Amino acid sequence: MPAVLLNNVDHRDLRVAVGHHARYGDAINQTRVFPAEFEELQRDYAILLRRDDAGQFLATVLLGLDADENLFLDGERWDARYVPATRARGPFSIGVDASGEPMIHVEDDHPRIDAGGMPVFREHGGNAPLLDHVSAMLQRIYTGLQDEQALYAAWSDAGLLTPATLQLEVAEGRRYNLPDHWTIDGERLAALDGATLQRLHARDHLRTAIWVASSLGNIRHLIDRKLIAERDG
Per-residue pLDDT of the chain (233 residues; tens, 9 = 90+): 689 999 999 999 999 999 999 999 999 999 999 999 999 999 999 999 999 999 999 999 999 999 999 999 998 899 999 999 999 999 999 998 778 889 999 999 999 999 999 999 998 889 999 999 999 999 999 999 999 999 999 999 999 999 998 889 887 778 899 899 999 999 999 999 999 999 999 999 999 999 999 999 999 999 999 999 988 86
pLDDT at 32 (0 to 100): 98
Q: What Cα–Cα distance (Å) separates residue 159 from each residue in 14, 50, 126?
A: 49, 16, 48
Q: What Cα–Cα distance (Å) separates residue 47 from each residue in 55, 118, 166, 206, 216?
A: 18, 31, 12, 15, 7
pLDDT at 196 (0 to 100): 97
pLDDT at 167 (0 to 100): 87
Cα–Cα distance, 14 to 2 (Å, whole number): 17
The dihedral over CA atoms of 215, 217, 222, 228, expressed in degrees to the nearest 10, equals: -150
Cα–Cα distance, 45 to 193 (Å, whole number): 29
Q: What Cα–Cα distance (Å) separates residue 89 from each residue in 30, 106, 137, 219?
A: 16, 10, 6, 25
pLDDT at 1 (0 to 100): 66
Q: How far is CA 151 from the centre of its chain?
A: 16
According to DSSP, the residues that pair with 174 across neighbouring strands are 171
Strands (E), the chain: 4-5, 15-16, 30-33, 47-51, 57-62, 73-74, 77-78, 92-96, 102-106, 118-119, 161-171, 174-184
pLDDT at 116 (0 to 100): 94
Give the chain's length.
233
Measured N-to-C along each axis, helices 194-202 and 206-215 cross at an angle, to the nearest 10 degrees, of 100
Which candidate, 181, 201, 183, places its Cα nearest to that of 192?
A: 201
pLDDT at 115 (0 to 100): 92
